[in-house]
Structure 1
Amino acid sequence: MTDNSTTTSSVDLNESRAPLLGAVAGLGAVLGVIAVALRFYTRVVIVGKVFHSDYCILAALVSVVAFTICNGIGIGYGFGRHGAAVTPEEITAQLKTTIGVIFFYHLSHLLIKSSILLQYIRICVLPVEKRICYVVLALVIAEGFTWIVVLFLTCIPFSAMWDPGLPGAKCIDNTAGFYACAATIISADVAILVIPPFLLRHSSIPWYQKLLLGMVLALGGAATIASIFRIRVIYMATKGTDPAWDAAPNGLLALIEVDLGLICSCVATLMPLFRRWHPGIWPRRLRHRGGNRLETVSDLNCVCSESKSTASEDRGGKTDVGDAVGSGTKLGPEQ
C-alpha cells in the first residue's frame, strides 16, 4: 500500500484535524444523549414499562460518553495534529489516553449490540428464534470481553503501551490486531442485520410493511457502514510515519461508528412516540392489495398469527405494529 503520511519537512505545523474530531465527538455525544432520553421518555411515559434492553442502552450511553471524553483528552494532547507540532510528553499522554479510548470503544460496542439483541428477544415468536438470538448475544459478549482482555495484553510489560522503547518489551502487531478486531465487529453487525427478516417471516402484514419494519429493526446495525470504511484507514493508522496525524481518520470513523450505533439502536423503540406526534406515520389498519382490511394491528400478540387475525379484528384496540416494536411486545402468539 502507498504510504501517504507526511514528512516533517513538508507539513504545515498549524494544520490540524482536531477541530473536526472534536466537533464529531461532541455532536455524536449530544445526539446520543437525546436519543436515549427520548427512548426512556417513550418507555416510561407512553409504554409504561422499562425493559432490560433499555437499561443496557443506558449503560452503553455512559460508556459512549466516557469514550468521547477520552477522545477529547487525546485531542487536547495533540491527537489530530502533526507529530512535529506536539511534544514527546504530549505523545506519551496521547498513547495513555488511547488505552481508555480502546477500552470504552469495545465496551460501547458490547453494550449497544447486547441492547439490540435483547430487544429482538422480546419480540421473538418461536423458541428457536430466541435461542438463535441468545447464541448471537453470547458471541457478542464473548467477542467484546475478548478484545478488552487483548487490550491489556497488547504489550508486556503493559507500560510499553505508552513507552515502546522499554528494554525487552514485546507488543502484538497493531495492524493485524486492528484488522482482526474490525472483522469480528463487522461479523457481529451482519448477524444483527440479518435477524429481523428471520423474525418477521411469520408476519401476516403486507410485504412493504415487513420491509419498513425490518429496516427500522436493522437500523441498530447501521454502524456497519462506518466499520467497513474504517478498514480502509487501519493500515495508515498503524503504519503511518506521523501517528497523531495519520490515525485521525481511524479515530473519526470509530467515533461515528459508536455514536451511530447508539442513536440508531434507539430508533425502533421510538415508534410509539412517533405515532403520538404524527398519527399517520404508521397506519392503524393494514390492508390487502385489493383494499380489504387485513387486521387491526392493535392486539400485538396477533400481528404475526394468521389464525388470530379475525379475533384481532373483533377486539380492536389502540396499538399498531410500530408500537409492537417500540414496546417490545412479541410479534406473534404467546408460546
Structure 2
Amino acid sequence: MGADDLRPQVMGVMIAFWVLTWVIVGLRVYVRAVMIKSFGRDDVAMIVALLLFTGYLSCQAAAVTHGIGRHRKDIPHEDLHIGFAAWMFAEVFYTASASILKVAVGLFLERITQNKMHILIIRIMMAATMLIGTIYLLVALFQCTPISFYWDFSENARGHCISPMVLVVISYIASVLNGAADFFFGILPIFIVKDLNMRRNTKIVVAAILGFAAIGSLSTLVRLPYVKQLGTYKGGKNKHLTCTKRERSYSQN
C-alpha cells in the first residue's frame, strides 16, 4: 500500500460519518417522536436524507474497495468496472441526499416561523435547491450513453459521454447555490428568534443552535477549488481519474 493510496483515510472518514449521522438522526427521531411527540414532515425528510446518504456511503465503500483512492494505473482491470460503477451511483446518491437535506432544514424552519416573507423565501430556496439537484442528478446519471459506458472499459465498448466541462459548470452552480442555501438557513434563525419573548442569552443560544447549518457553506467553499478536477474525466477509452486528488467533502451534509 503506497503513499498515494488514500483508501484507508477515505474509509476512515466514511465510517466516522456513517456512525455520526445515524446516531444524530436517531436521537433526533427519538426526541421528536417519543419525548415531545412532534414528529413532522421535516423529520420524514431527514430520515429520507439519511437513507440516501447511507446509500452514498455504501457505493463509496464499494468504489474504494475496488480501486477508487489509487491512481488509475494501479487499479487491476477487473476492479475498474465495479469501482467506476459504484463511483457514479455514489454521485447520484450524494446529490439526492444533499438536496433532500436542504428541504428537511427548510421544512424545520418553516415550522417555527410565522413571518410570511420568511416562509416565502424558505420555499423559494427549497424549490431552487431541488431544481438544481434534480438537474445535476440527471446529468450525472446520463452523462454517458448508454449509462454503462461510464464504467465499461472493454475493447468493444461503444458509446459516448458528454464533455466533462458540463459537469464542472453545473458543479460550480450547484456549489454556489448550496452554499447560499446553507448561509441563508444559518442566518435566518437570528431573525426568527429576535422577536421572541425570551432572555437575550437564551435567544443567542437558540439562534446559534438553529444556525448550525451555516457550517455547511464553509465546506462548500473549501471544495470549490477541487471542482475543476471533474474536468479530468474524459470518458470512453481515454477515461482517466486522478483518484488521489478527488474531493472528499462529507461535511457538506
Superposition TM-score, scaled by structure 2 size:
0.85
Q: Distance in 1 between matches of 2:81 and 2:231?
A: 16
Pick which of 224-233 and 32-41 moved more. Answer: 224-233
SS in 2 for 1:223: helix
Q: Distance in 1 between matches of 2:33 and 2:230?
A: 43
Pairwise CA distance, 1:68: 0.6
Write the letter of the residue equivalent to 2:223.
R
Q: Distance in 1 between matches of 2:186 and 2:152?
A: 40
Partner of 1:149: 138
Q: 1:78 to 1:203 in 2, by over 3 A?
A: same
Instruction: Note the 1:9-158 alignment, pairs <5 A.
Output: 13=2, 15-158=4-147
Any conservation in 2 of the 1:24–1:256 contact (CA below 8 Å)? no
Any conservation in 1 of the 2:29–2:43 contact (CA below 8 Å)? yes
Write the letter of the residue equivalent to 1:82.
H
Q: 1:154 to 1:187 in 2, by over 3 A?
A: farther
Number of aligned pairs? Answer: 243
SS in 2 for 1:49: coil
Does structure 1 residue 245 correspond to structure 2 residue 234?
A: no
Any conservation in 2 of the 1:83–1:245 contact (CA below 8 Å)? no
Any conservation in 2 of the 1:13–1:84 contact (CA below 8 Å)? no
Q: 1:152 to 1:115 in 2, by over 3 A?
A: same
Q: 1:88 to 1:181 in 2, by over 3 A?
A: farther
Q: Structure 1: any 5+ residue segments left out of the alignment?
A: 1-11, 259-335
- With CA pairs under 8 Å and 6+ residues apart, which has the higher RCO, 1 or 2? 1
Q: Distance in 1 between matches of 2:195 and 2:47?
A: 31
Q: 1:242 to 1:145 in 2, by over 3 A?
A: closer
Any conservation in 2 of the 1:186–1:224 contact (CA below 8 Å)? yes
Write the letter of the residue equivalent to 1:198.
F
Aligned partner (choices 162, 168, 171) of residue 162 of structure 2: 171
Q: Distance in 2 between matches of 1:42 and 1:70?
A: 30
Does structure 1 residue 256 correspond to structure 2 residue 251?
A: yes
Q: Structure 2: any 5+ residue segments left out of the alignment?
A: 234-239
Percent identity among equivalent residues? Answer: 18
Pairwise CA distance, 1:199: 1.9
Q: 1:83 to 1:181 in 2, by over 3 A?
A: same
